[in-house]
Structure formats: C-alpha cells, structure tokens
C-alpha cells in the first residue's frame, strides 16, 4: 500500500505491505527528526545554530557529528567533489542527510521483518524485495511527465539516486562556483543509498572526468545525461534497463 | 645460481611487474592524486619488493631433476602465491630454452581497481536502447530532487495517486 507525506522540503512515497502499515509512523518520525535536526531552513535546528555560531560542532549532538564525519570521509574519497562545507564556510549536510534518513528508515523496516518495501524520497529510492524485482523509472530531465528509461532493482542492487539541475536549478556547487554543469542529470545504482546519492552528486559536480574516475573506483551503475541530451551509461546500467 | 633460485627470482620479478602494471593502470586514472577510496588505495609507488619472496617453484610443472643444471627445463612453472600490498598475486611462467615465452596470471589482486576501471567505464548509448523501457510498468520514479511543488507535476505523483 502506498503512503505519501511531505518531508525535508520534498515528498516521500513509501510502499509497504498492509500488514506492516503500523510501522509507517516510525518511518515518518525518522524523516521528521532528521529534518528538524539538519534543516538550514529551520532557524532553531542544530545545523542552523552551528551556521549562526551559537553552537559549535564539538558540542553538537552525536548524530550531527557522525553525519559530518561521514561527509568528510566522502569528501576525501571524492577529492572534494562532494563536500559538507559550502564555499561560504557554512556546514551543509543536505547532501547526505536525506540518504541517511532513507537508509535508517529502510533498516527499521528490515528490523521489523518487513520483506518487501520501497522508499522514495524526492526521487532517491531504496527498495527491498523478496519476490519480483522492483522496476523503477528514471525521470526525463527535459520533461517531468515522461521517463528517460526504467531499470530493474534486484538482488543487492537496492538503491538508485539521481542528482542534477533539472528540478532545482543549478544547485550543485562546483568548486566555489554555482555554475552550469556538464551533466544535467546523473543516476547512480548502488547497493546502498548513501553511496548512490553521494556519487551521483560528485559526478554532476565533476563532469566527465569525475564520471570516469568514480565508475573506476566504485562498483556502481551510472546513467549520465549531458546538456545536449546525449546519454552515457556503464555496462551494468545497460543491463539493468528494463525490457 | 641453481635452477630453484633462478625460477624464484623470475617469479618474484614477474609478480612485481604485474603489480606494477596494475598500479600503472590505476595511475592512468584521471585523478591520480586521489589516495584513498573505500574499495582500494592507489599508492604512488610500487617499489616495495614483496618481502620473503623466496618463491618456490612449486607444483604441477615438469619435475626439475638436476639441481646442478644451469638453465631450467622447458615447461610451465607455477609460482607460489605472493602477498603484495595490493593482495595476492600468482603467475605461471612458460620457459622455452632459456627464454620466458609466456606469463599467465593465475591470481591477480582483487584490490586493484584496474579491471573495474576498464570494464565499468560509461560509454555513449543511443536513445533507441532505452526507449522500450520507457513504457515499462514502474513502481517508483527516480529523479533529481523534487521540490514539493515539482512533485505535483511528476510521474511519481501520478503513480502515488493511482496507488501505483
């Protein structure tokens, strides 16, 4: 059964078997808690207080420090393409908190023995299946109302995240600039949602060079769409494309 | 130099060559300055000789009968698995006369990103390849972050309303 609610400035769509609908409240609470803690739009959130200087990172909650540390690790691994530090110095964990919340919500559903579910928050998707694979569409960046393709999520390939400039304008920082990117949309299929999300962001930020680098170092499947609408895909992504 | 030590040095050298070749592949990566990743590390030098490579010419090769021989008999010799900083490496060497005529890697490091790099690179695909899948019945739609407003116009919204 499908459940839809607003959270984190976007919309969550959650598919659960009817027998575990009772878990929906807990799932919802996971997103609400993350949003309250990490949002830079809420003036009283921990991140906002860190940004304004009324709270230091060292005194922040362990949840904030753990997310920050994880972000720093990813910054190192991606040579700075992914970073929790905005050029103006503000710590912005937006790039990872949504994926972490999805991860946590999925772990909760697993922990209560839910065998089959999907979580889609703002277009980033994590699934679990015990039967047929979940077929997932990828939006066409030039047309909200159509799909560029659809892919099969099965086995350990449980996550697909998409980054780009199609929905929110050019929102990905490139170095100190907030400029046009080579790829308008990059989708990454991976075993876990944080890896998928972070690397999709890194490829959008770093362009062709990052695409070649990242696909060489992580076992991920990628579809990248450039400004001219041309598609590039890894062999694994081609195989994942639904018939 | 007896046969055994000759072969030992051959295997050690070949192992180092292969490790070097693998690392060389990694160094061809567009961002050689990257030093760490969750899967692998890409060190800048591979001068480290595997220590203790008193590699013994083991196994299914033709028996090397005469220890005093100055050159080993023709045949294929399997080296011991050598532990390197990238993982284990094992090769077989075919000797003809006193020349190495073939080197077959039996075991290459799984830490090396080299093979991944070649096989996982993204390449252009044409729209025709994906068109058929556009009409597949999907349960969700992924896309670059929807705002709440943009969601309303999305395919995902339509799926949700239909209870997918």
Size of interface A-B (CB pairs under 8 A): 205
What distance in Å separates the CA atoms of residue B106 and residue B93, rounded to the nearest whole number?
A: 10
Q: Count of CB atoms within 10 A of residue A59's CB?
A: 11
* Residue B27 pLDDT: 33
Say what the pLDDT of residue A181 is. Answer: 82
| Cβ–Cβ gap B129/A222 under 8 Å | no
Q: At what angle do helices A193-217 and A94-111 cross, to 10 degrees?
A: 120
* pLDDT computed for residue B54 by the predictor: 39
Structure-token pair, residue A138: 């990828």
- Partnered with residue A163 across adjacent β-strands are A186
Q: Percent of chain B having pLDDT more than 90?
A: 6
Interface test with B, best of A137, A148, A234 (most B CBs within 10 A): A137
**Count of structural domains, chain A:** 1
Q: How far is A109 from A20, CA to CA, in rounded Å?
A: 9
**Model pTM greater than 0.80?**
no
pLDDT tens track for A34-72: 999 999 999 999 999 999 999 999 999 999 999 999 999
C-beta of residue B134 within 8 angstroms of C-beta of residue A146: yes
Q: Which residue of A has its CA nearest to B152?
A: A11
A127 contacts in B (CB within 8 Å)? 140
Whether B129 contacts A241, CB under 8 Å: yes
Is residue B121 within 8 A of residue A222, CB to CB? The reply is: no
Q: Which comes out higher in pLDDT, residue B131 or B31?
A: B131
Distance CA B120, CA B91 (A): 25
More confident residue, A51 or B61: A51
DSSP state of B50: P
- Which chain A residues contact residue B40 at CB under 8 A? 217
A80-133 tens-digit pLDDT: 999 999 888 899 998 999 999 999 999 999 999 999 999 999 999 999 998 889
Q: Are A142 and A161 in contact (CB under 8 A)?
A: no
ipTM: 0.89
Phi and psi angles of residue B56, each rounded to the nearest 5 degrees, phi first: -100, 135
Average pLDDT for B2-6: 56
Window 146-205 of A: residues touching B by CB (8 A cutoff) are: 146-151, 160-168, 171, 185, 187
The two three-digit tokens of residue A110, written as one number = 């697993």
Phi, psi at residue A137, to the nearest 5°? -85, 155
H or E element, residue A183: strand A183-190
Class of domain B75-162: alpha beta
Across chain A, mean pLDDT equals 92
Q: How far is CA A195 from CA A77, A78, A83, A192, A215, in A?
A: 11, 11, 14, 6, 12
For residue A169, what is the domain's CATH number? 3.10.520.10
Q: Is the per-residue pLDDT at B4 higher than 80?
A: no
**Domain assignments of chain B as residue spans, ordered by start:** 75-162
Q: Which residues pair with B142 in a beta bridge?
A: A138
pLDDT digits (tens, 9 = 90+) for A182-202: 899 999 999 999 999 999 999
Q: Where are the alpha helices (DSSP H) in B28-162?
A: 114-119, 127-134, 148-152, 155-161
Reported as a single tens digit per residue, the pLDDT across B79-97 is: 877 766 556 677 777 888 7
Q: Which residue has the higher pLDDT, A213 or B78?
A: A213
CB neighbourhood size of B151 (10 A): 23
- Nearest CB among A144, A151, A160 relative to B154 is that of A144
Q: Is the confidence at residue A173, as pLDDT, over 80?
A: no
pLDDT digits (tens, 9 = 90+) for A195-229: 999 999 999 999 999 999 999 999 999 999 998 89
Looking at residue B144, what is its pLDDT?
Answer: 84
Nearest to A243 among B133, B145, B163 (CB): B133
Indicate whether A236 pLDDT > 50.
yes
């Amino acid at each position: 059964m499908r459940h839809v609610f607003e959270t984190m400035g976007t919309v969550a769509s959650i598919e659960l078997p009817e027998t575990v609908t009772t878990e929906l409240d807990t799932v919802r609470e996971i997103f609400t808690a993350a949003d309250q803690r990490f949002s830079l739009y809420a003036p009283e959130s921990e991140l906002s207080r860190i940004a304004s200087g009324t709270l230091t990172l060292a005194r922040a909650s362990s949840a904030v420090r753990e997310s920050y540390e994880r972000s720093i690790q990813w910054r190192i691994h991606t040579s700075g393409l992914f970073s929790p530090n905005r050029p103006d110095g503000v710590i912005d964990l937006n790039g990872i908190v949504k994926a972490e919340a999805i991860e946590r919500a999925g772990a909760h559903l697993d922990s209560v023995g839910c065998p089959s579910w999907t979580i889609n928050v703002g277009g980033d998707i994590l699934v679990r299946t015990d039967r047929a694979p979940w077929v997932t569409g990828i939006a066409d960046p030039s047309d909200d109302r159509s799909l560029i393709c659809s892919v099969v999520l099965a086995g350990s390939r449980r996550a697909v995240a998409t980054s780009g400039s199609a929905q929110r304008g050019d929102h990905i920082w490139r170095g100190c600039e907030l400029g046009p990117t080579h790829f308008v949309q990059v989708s990454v299929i991976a075993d876990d949602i944080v890896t998928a999300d972070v690397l999709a962001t890194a490829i959008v930020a770093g362009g062709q060079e990052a695409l070649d680098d990242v696909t060489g170092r992580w076992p991920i499947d990628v579809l990248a769409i450039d400004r001219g609408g041309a598609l590039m895909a890894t062999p694994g992504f081609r195989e994942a494309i639904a018939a | 130099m007896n046969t055994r030590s000759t072969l030992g040095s051959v295997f050690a050298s070949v192992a180092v060559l292969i490790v070097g070749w693998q690392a060389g592949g990694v160094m061809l990566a567009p961002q050689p300055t990257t030093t760490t990743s969750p899967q692998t590390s890409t060190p800048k030098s591979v001068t480290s000789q595997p220590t203790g490579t008193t590699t013994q010419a083991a196994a299914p090769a033709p028996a090397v009968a005469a220890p005093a021989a100055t050159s080993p008999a023709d045949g294929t010799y399997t080296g011991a698995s050598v532990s390197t900083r990238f993982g284990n490496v094992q090769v077989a060497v075919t000797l003809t006369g006193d020349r190495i005529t073939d080197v077959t890697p039996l075991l290459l490091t799984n830490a090396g990103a080299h093979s991944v790099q070649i096989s996982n690179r993204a390449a252009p695909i044409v729209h025709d390849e994906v068109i058929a899948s556009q009409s597949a019945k999907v349960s969700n739609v992924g896309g670059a972050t929807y705002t709440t407003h943009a969601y309303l116009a999305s395919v995902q919204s339509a799926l949700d309303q239909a209870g997918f």
